Amino acid sequence: MPEIQLMIFTVIGLALLFDFINGFHDTANAIATSVSTRAIHPSHAIIMAACLNFLGAMYSTGVAKTIGGDIVSNAEMVDERVIIAALVGAVLWNLLTWWLAMPSSSSHALVGGIIGSVLVSVGPEGLNDGGILKIVASLIASPLIGMATGCIIMLLLLRIFGQCRPVSINHRFKKLQIVAAAMMAFSHGSNDAQKSMGIITLALLAGHYISVFEVPTYVKVLSATAMACGTAIGGWRIIKTVGGKIFKLEPISGFASDLNSSFIIFTATLLHLPVSTTHVVSGSIMGVGSAKRVNAVHWGVAKQMVTAWVMTIPCTAVMGALAYKAVMAIFM
């Protein structure tokens, strides 16, 4: 019994660490555009993002149920060792990509870590193929949708305000960009924090601490707080990549990107689909940049980011598998 309790607490601690790292790793997604265009002071942007991340995380639990229930075929086939290994793989990948200033998907990292640890521990029968396909499809489709709709929104704005003086347009949209960044921060919290909620709830269910997959209130509060604290630390390395290296943003294009991204992410939350905030924001920026001029987008940087996205699930699956071997050696 004490060993089971130790493993449950280890799962909760690692899940909250994942949420904390997700907070400062993905802070750039919510505020990079508004900071890069100087619409808002960086410290004010981080405080705003932290508060709205917390509120967003408390919004619903639909994504948590998808993460906790759709990847594995049966919760009884998964124990705490599997979940610990999955989280270790995801956390290590997030720290590595943060250190390299490489925008990467925390969602992909978590999914890959779970897949790898389940494959080694239980085998292919432990995975829910249909659920994984749905999750991966949403992760792939969301940045493509972001690119297309971002381009459309920017074209509409250029058609409406194209005859106005650039100085006048930038002054107007700096204020609007703060509103869009706030929407982006709330939607980020509403989707990303739920991933850790789902993992913790899955561990509680596997350990028979709860009888049905319903996210307890204290799990929601803990996850929301961890993400908000991580956001307060800030993610300046990735802010520079997202905010300036893909496309040189102006207030009007930053507004278009944030508005587009927030709608896509929040729609995914309403549909109980986990999406990558990093992917959606980056796709939106590419689409917005393409609307102004295709060669204005730094496609070389975009290619590097896409490469990192493609690598994430296979790499974290391997990390999750290796972590499971290590966990088994510790918790024999």
Q: What is the DSSP string of 43-73?
A: HHHHHHHHHHHHHHHTS--HHHHHHHHHSBS
Q: Identify the pLDDT of residue 148.
A: 93
Q: How far apart are CA 169 and CA 30, in angstroms?
A: 22
Q: Tell which residue, 265, 261, 255, has the closest CA to residue 189.
A: 265
When the pLDDT of each residue in the chain is averaged and rounded to a whole number, the result is 81
Q: Identify the pLDDT of residue 321.
A: 93
Q: Tell which residue, 10, 208, 183, 1, has the closest CA to residue 91.
A: 10
Band (260; pLDDT cuts 50, 70, 90): very high
CB 241 within 8 A of CB 101: yes
Enumerate the β-bridge partners of residue 127. 72
Which segment of 101-105, 133-137, 216-220, 233-237 scores lowest on mean pLDDT?
233-237
Q: Identify the pLDDT of residue 23.
A: 76
Q: Identify the pLDDT of residue 259.
A: 92
CA distances from 76 to 158, 213, 321 (A): 54, 12, 19
List, for residues 2-19, the tens digit of each pLDDT value: 666 778 888 889 989 888
Q: How far apart are CA 29 and CA 120, in angstroms?
A: 33
Among 20-24, 157-161, 241-245, top mean pLDDT goes to 157-161
Computed from CA positions of residues 195, 201, 207, 213, in that sequence, does the dihedral angle turn out positive or negative? negative
Residue 268's identity, in one-letter code, is A
Residue 233 scores a pLDDT above 80: no
- Dihedrals φ, ψ of 282, to 5°? -65, -40
CB 39 within 8 A of CB 251: yes
The single residue listed with the structure tokens 């706030």 is 182
Band (215; pLDDT cuts 50, 70, 90): confident
Average pLDDT over residues 292-309: 70
Average pLDDT over residues 145-153: 93
CB 316 within 8 A of CB 93: yes
- The rounded radius of gyration (Å) of the Cα atoms in the chain is 20
Encoded tokens for 239 = 């802010």
Band (65; pLDDT cuts 50, 70, 90): confident
Enumerate the β-bridge partners of residue 72. 127
Q: How far apart are CA 87 and CA 193, in angstroms?
A: 14
Q: Identify the pLDDT of residue 138.
A: 84
Q: Distance between terminal CA atoms of the chain?
A: 14
Residue 118 scores a pLDDT above 80: yes
Residue 322 scores a pLDDT above 80: yes
Q: Tell which residue, 150, 134, 112, has the closest CA to residue 316.
A: 112
Nearest 10 degrees: Cα torsion 173, 149, 156, 189: -20
Residue 248 scores a pLDDT above 90: no
- Dihedrals φ, ψ of 128, to 5°? -95, 95
Q: Tell which residue, 276, 240, 3, 322, has the closest CA to residue 144.
A: 276
Q: How far apart are CA 154 and CA 126, in angstroms?
A: 44
